[in-house]
Amino acid sequence: MSNVTTMDAPVKVSAPQEKTRRELKAFNGLAHLALIFWAVVTAGPLLWVVLASFKSNTEIFLGEPFALPSTFSLETYLSAWDQAHIGRYFLNSVFVVLVSTAGTMLFGSMAAYVLARYSFVGNRIVYYLFVSGLAFPTFMALGPLFHILKNMGLLNTYHGLIMVYIAYSLPFTIFFLAAFFKTLPHEIDEAATVDGASHTRKFFQIMMPMAKSGLVSITIFNIVGQWNQYLLPLVIMQGQGADQKWVLTQGIANISTQAGYHAEWSTLFAALTLSIIPMIVVYAIFQRQIQAGLTAGAVK
């Protein structure tokens, strides 16, 4: 038997294909340049704030913007934490945001699940009422909101601020999660019903694990939005003794407005850095879960 050796023939690329490849490479190169530019524009101010938090006022205004500080001392951070009471405001924000985010996700996910998976009279009306909250600017509600909370005795209280945060965050939470719950397979829902699972058990033990990626995404969105909120606490947390219950955004604004031209800018930038770090940590922890598969809970 004769041995026949064959060699793979080189693949010939036509001129149009070669042109398309060159165009794709050029497009990818431009896309990478745009991403690098956007990263520099985004990270540049953050880097400047961090460096400025270690500098004196003279170094900030007379030195090079991105030059390293003469000394890396935590004195400005300790001053911001203790003397400027940023530590107290930081803990206030952590408490308010944790409770309000938990309430938002609980009520928002339950409402979105019912609106997405159950048919009843007025379903669409209720859904559109929630969604209409997205089109209502927050600052237009500040006056009525102040009088409502005043009549209810909720001004200058944590539970008043938490209730407002929850109401403020519900429209987008329901809008996002309702569309998400609709994409989940109905077969698993029906199988759970056949097995005798109650509506509550189906929601908490079956649907929520399946919607984990969507829940994590909207949770991060709500945490960031509530952590950076300034107008709502400014209206609600006022009056005698209100500064003891201020959240972080109010405390940071107070550093610059109260000191006037004699502001310790390094202390202000240290406070800003302390407010930025938690959001970066939250995203770093949960970024993989955002990309998780929609049916990861069902497979398990």
| pLDDT tens, position by position, 78-113 | 988 988 889 999 999 999 999 999 999 999 999 999
Chain-wide mean pLDDT for the chain? 85
DSSP string, 13-50: PPHHHHHHHHHHHHHHHHHHHHHHHHHHHHHHHHHHHH
User: What mean pLDDT do residues 225-246 have?
Assistant: 87
DSSP string, 84-145: T-HHHHHHHHHHHHHHHHHHHHHHHHHHHHHHHH---TTHHHHHHHHHHGGGS-GGGGHHHH
Q: Are 268 and 256 in contact (CB under 8 A)?
A: yes
Give percent of the chain above pLDDT 90.
42
Q: Tally the C-alpha atoms within 13 A of residue 100's C-alpha that lie toward its C-beta.
A: 29
Q: Provide the residue ranges of all domains of the chain, joining segments of one domain with +.
A: 15-52, 77-299
Residue 121 has pLDDT above 90, yes or no: yes
Q: Are 77 and 270 in contact (CB under 8 A)?
A: yes
Residue 14 has pLDDT above 80, yes or no: no
Structure tokens at 83: 């003397």
3-state secondary structure of 239: coil
Confidence bin at 295 (pLDDT 50/70/90):
very low
> In the prediction, which pLDDT does 61 show?
83
User: What mean pLDDT do residues 167-171 have?
Assistant: 94
Question: What's the topology of domain 77-299?
Answer: MetI-like fold (1.10.3720)
Average the pLDDT over each of 7-11, 71-75, 144-148 and give the range with the smallest value: 7-11
Euclidean distance between CA atoms 270 and 252, whole angstroms: 10
> In the prediction, which pLDDT does 24 show?
83
Residue 13 has pLDDT above 60, yes or no: no
Residue 233 has pLDDT above 80, yes or no: yes
163 membership: H or E segment, kind and range = helix 158-182
